[in-house]
Structure 1
Amino acid sequence: MEPLTNARQRLERAVRRVQADARVPALSVALHRADRELWTCTVGSSGNPEHPLGPGSRFRVGSVTKTFTAVLVLQARDDGLLDLDDPVSAHLDVPAHGGATLRALLSHTAGYQREPHGDVWDVLAAPDDRRLLDDLARAERVLPAHRRYHYSNLGVAVLGQLVARLRGGTWAEVLQERILDPLGLAATTVEPTAGAAVGYLVDAYSDAARPEPQLDMGGVAPAAQLWSTATDMARWAAFLATPEIIDPGALVLSRDTLDEMRWPRTTTDETLWTGGFGLGLILIPQGGRVLHVGHDGAMPGFLAGVYGRRGGEGNPGALGAAVLASSGTATEINELVHELLTIAVDADPAEIRPWSPGPPAPPQYRDILGPWWSEGFPHTFSWHDGTLQARAADAPADRPPSVFRPIPDRPDTLRTVSGRETGELLRLTRNDTGAVVRMHWATYRFTRHQETFDGIAVSEG
C-alpha cells in the first residue's frame, strides 16, 4: 500500500472512531502541511438542512480566538505601540486591576478572575466593551500576580479592548485588517453565517441531542467569539508552528516573535508538567523535542482543537491540524488533534532531502573548527549551512547546536543566536600570526587542550 494512501486511511479512521465513540453530531477535520495538498474529512450532519456538512461548514471555535488576540498584542508591541511589561493602566482607563502587566495577562498569570463580573453563563448575556472595563471595579484579583497559572477569559478580553483602542478601531475591525485578510482566512468570521453547523448538548444517557443557545460575547469577543472552518483553522495552526512558510513576508508577525510566543512562561499543573502556556499559546510537549502549539476552544454546543507541530523527524513544516465538533461534551476531540499530527509524520513522513557539498568556512574562521575544551569538557566547533556552530561532545544527538553570527564590523566577536547560551557573546583571541588560540563564550575560556581554571594543562606534571 502506498504510504500516502495508508496515511489517509489512518487519519480518516481516527476521525470516524472519535465521531462514533464520542457521539459527535458533526465533526470537521483538516490537516495542513507544506508538502501535500490539504486533507479534510467530515463525518455526521450539520443540523442545518439547507447547508449539509462539508469542509466549508463553519463551527464556533471558542477560545482558539485567544490566539488571534495574542498575535494582535505582539503586533502592537513590534510596532512600538506598547511594551509587554506595561501595566494595563498605561493604555486603558480602568477603575481597578490596572497594574496587571500585558505579559502576565497573555500567560494567564495576572491573577484576574476567570470570567467578567456577573453570571454570564447563567443569564447568557455578556457585557459590551465599555461595561466590561467599568466592571473591573467589581471583579476580583483572585491570586497575586505571577503566583501561578489561572485561566482568565476576562484577562484576554481586556487585552482585546486595549489593542482596539491603540489601533483606533473595534477588535473585529483590527482582526480583519491585520490577520484575517493578510493570511487569506476568508472563512473565519466574528458572526455565524448561513452555513454554520448547529451546536448540541448530547444526552449522557440516550441518543438525544438538543441545540444549545448561542451567546454573542460582546466585550468578551476577543476571548471566544470566532466562527471558522477546519480548513482555515488548520492553516492558522500551521502559521503558529511555521510562520516563515505560511507568511514568508512577515505581513502578520515575524518568525522571531512567534518563537517568543512559543517560549513556556508557566506550567498549567505544578505536579504534571505535561502542558504549559507561552504568550497566548498552549504548549503540549510530545517527547523527542516535539512541541504542539495552539489552543483548545469550547462554547455551548461546540469544541475545537487547533494545533501546529514543531520539530521531530519527518515533519514537513507548516504542519497544522484542526478538529471542530458540534458537541459541547465530546472531549475526546482534544486528543484527536494531537493524534492526527502524529499520524501525519508516522505514516507519511516528509521526504529526506539529500545532502550536497557546500562552500568551506570563511578563512577567518577555519582554524576554529574542531575540538575545544572548557570547564574540563570537550566541545566541537563546525561550519554548516553558512554558520559557525558548536556542540558539547556529550550532547544528545537531537539537541540543536548553538549557532553564531558575527557582530557587524567586529568579526572576532559573534553573538549566539540559537541553541545553548542564546544571546551570549563568543570572543576570539588571536596570536601574532592571526591564528585563534583562545576563545571566550559567555565569559568561559575555551582552549585547544584540557586545562584547569587557572590555565594549567591537565597533562603537565
Structure 2
Amino acid sequence: MTSSSEELLPGTQRALLHRIAVAQREGRAPSFAAAVQRDGHLVWTGARASVDGHAPDADTQYRIGSITKPFTAVLVMRLQDEGLIDLEDALEKHLPGTGAGEVTIVQLLGHSAGLSAEAPAPWWERTPGSTRPELSDVLGGGTGVHPQGRRHHYSNPGYTLLGSLVEEVRGVPWEEALSQEILEPLGLSRTSTQPQAPHAGGWAVHPWADVMLPEPTEDLGLMAPAGQLWSTAADLCRFAAFLATGDDLVLGAESVREMRTPSVPPEAGEWNSTYGLGLQIIRSEGRTLVGHTGSLPGFLAGLWVSVDDGVTAVALANATSGPPTAMVAADLVHIVADAEPRIPEPWRPLPEADQELLALTGLWYWGTSAYGLRLVSDGGLELDPLRGGGRRSRFRAGVKETWTGLDGYYAGETLRVVRRDDGSVSHLDLGSFVFTREPYQPGDAVPGGVDPAGWRGFRS
C-alpha cells in the first residue's frame, strides 16, 4: 500500500483495503489490484492475491478491455478540435465504402448508430484479429439492427470503425496515433497495446470448483480500438483525472466536458445509467460517476471518477468473471469522498467591482416569480428562484452585456441586458423570457402588455 503527501486517514485506508479484500475473496480472483487518486495525487493503492508474496502493485499491467474505448474517443475528439472532422459528419465522408450507411461520427461515439453489438462469429475476443482482416469481416451483415440515432445499443464494431477513421484521417496506424497523442503527453508509460512485464496472466475460474484455466491472449487486429489495451491502476488513475479536467496537451476542458455529457437517452428502467461520447455515466449513491468498464477473457476492469469530489478509483482483476470490479471502483470513490470530503477552495472576492455589472444584481421578476441574480467571483452570474420551484442556472460572461447558460433549462441560452434609449436598463432577456425589476409594472417591456387598471383586490 502506498500513498503520497496527500495521505488518506488510516481508517479510510483500512476501509479501502477491506473492500478489495472482500471482492478478491468472494469473487475468487487470482489477483486484484486497485488505486485511488484525489485532486491529481495518487493517494492509495492496494492489492490482494491468491499466492502469498506475489501480490501485484499499481504498476502491474492488466488487460482493460473496453476501457480502451475512451482512449479511441479522445483521438476522435482531437480530430474535431483540429477542424479535420465534424462530429455530425457521416462516416462515409471520411471513411467511404464501409457499408455502414450514413451513420454519423457522434452516433458511433455514443453507441446510437444502430450497429450490431458484436462482430460475426467466431467470438472476436477469443480469436485472433487475423480472422477478420477487413472491415467487412468486422461488420458482417449486422449493420442497421436499430434505426440510427434513436436508441443506445452498445456496439464493439462501431469502435472498430472509429479506429479506422483515426487511421484514415491521420495517415498513421491507430496504435501510433494513440502513443503520440495520448500516452506520451499524459505520461502513461505503462499503457500499451501488447503486454509488458510485469503483467498479470488471464484466468478462468471454474464456476463450481476452486480450480483455474488459463485464457488465451489474442491480438484483436481491427477490433483493437474497442478493447486491445493493457494498463495499470496508476496509469488509469492518471487517465481518469485527465477525463475530469482536460489537458491542453491532449484535449481541453470543454471537449472532455462534452465527452461527459449524455449523448442518448437511457433505456427504460435504466435512469441511473447513460452514455456520453466514449464514456459511461452512472448515478450512484447520489453521485455522478463517469468512466468505463472493461472485460476480455481472463480480465475485468472498472474505472470511475467523481468530478465534483475530485476522486478517481480503478479496480482490476485477472478473472473472466466473478469479481465485480465496476462496483468496487465505485465503492472506492464513495469510501474516500464520504470519509474525507473535498475541502472547498476559500471564498475570494472579485479583484475589482464593475459598478454597472453590480447594478444588475438583486431582485428580478419573470412574470410574478421572484428571482435573485448574483455576481460570482469568476465574473459569471447565477440566477436562482427565491420561492418555490423554478429554473436556476449559472451563466458564463460573453461580450456586450451577454452571458451564456451553463446548466439546467437555460444551458446554451443567452442572457442579455436590454437598455432604453437613455441607456438605463429596461429588462433582462433570457431566451425571449423577460425579467423586470417589478412584477407587471405599467410601462415595462412585458410581452402582451399590462392591464392599465393595475393591480386590484376582489370582492365577493
Q: What TM-score, normalized by structure 1, do the two folds share? A: 0.89
The farther-off stretch of 435-444 and 250-259 is: 435-444
Check whether the contact 2:304–2:314 (CA below 8 A) recurs between aligned residues: yes
| Cα distance change, pair 320–384 in 1 and its aligned pair in 2 (3 A) | same
Residue in 2 that maps onto 1:402: 394
Identity percentage over the alignment?
Answer: 34
Q: What does 1:19-418 align with in structure 2 at a 5 Å threshold?
A: 19-34=24-39, 36-45=41-50, 53-121=56-124, 124-127=127-130, 130-133=133-136, 136=139, 138-243=141-246, 247=247, 250-286=248-284, 288=286, 290-311=287-308, 315=309, 317=310, 319-359=311-351, 361-394=353-386, 401-407=393-399, 410=400, 412-418=401-407
Q: Distance in 1 between matches of 2:292 and 2:164?
A: 21
Once the two structures are TM-superposed, the CA of residue 305 in structure 1 deviates from its matched residue by: 0.2
Q: Distance in 1 between matches of 2:296 and 2:125?
A: 13
| 2:288 maps to amino acid | L
Residue in 2 that maps onto 1:8: 13
| Cα distance change, pair 129–3 in 1 and its aligned pair in 2 (3 A) | closer
RMSD value, Cα: 2.6
Check whether the contact 2:107–2:113 (CA below 8 A) recurs between aligned residues: yes
Q: 1:442 aligns with which of 426, 431, 445?
A: 431
Once the two structures are TM-superposed, the CA of residue 46 in structure 1 deviates from its matched residue by: 7.7
Q: Distance in 2 between matches of 1:396 and 1:63?
A: 44
Once the two structures are TM-superposed, the CA of residue 393 in structure 1 deviates from its matched residue by: 1.8
Check whether the contact 1:127–1:218 (CA below 8 A) recurs between aligned residues: yes
Moved over 4 A (4+): 127-130, 394-397, 417-420
- SS in structure 2 at match of 1:150: coil
Once the two structures are TM-superposed, the CA of residue 7 in structure 1 deviates from its matched residue by: 1.1
- SS in structure 2 at match of 1:223: helix
Once the two structures are TM-superposed, the CA of residue 14 in structure 1 deviates from its matched residue by: 0.8
| 2:22 maps to amino acid | R
Once the two structures are TM-superposed, the CA of residue 121 in structure 1 deviates from its matched residue by: 4.1
Residue in 1 that maps onto 2:4: none
| Cα distance change, pair 367–122 in 1 and its aligned pair in 2 (3 A) | closer
Give the count of matched residue pairs.
443
Q: Distance in 2 between matches of 1:169 and 1:367?
A: 56
| 2:257 maps to amino acid | D
| 2:81 maps to amino acid | D
| Unaligned runs of at least 5 residues, structure 2 | 1-6, 441-445
- SS in structure 2 at match of 1:174: helix
Once the two structures are TM-superposed, the CA of residue 443 in structure 1 deviates from its matched residue by: 1.3
Check whether the contact 2:42–2:234 (CA below 8 A) recurs between aligned residues: no
Deviations 1:134-161 (A, max 9, x none): 6546443212212321111101011001
Deviations 1:251-277 (A, max 9, x none): 111111111111112245322212101
| Cα distance change, pair 439–192 in 1 and its aligned pair in 2 (3 A) | same
Q: Distance in 2 between matches of 1:74 and 1:131?
A: 25
The farther-off stretch of 328-337 and 204-213 is: 328-337
Q: Distance in 2 between matches of 1:205 and 1:118?
A: 28
| Unaligned runs of at least 5 residues, structure 1 | none
Once the two structures are TM-superposed, the CA of residue 44 in structure 1 deviates from its matched residue by: 0.2
Q: 2:410 aligns with which of 416, 421, 424?
A: 421
Q: Distance in 1 between matches of 2:96 and 2:179?
A: 25
Check whether the contact 2:300–2:317 (CA below 8 A) recurs between aligned residues: yes
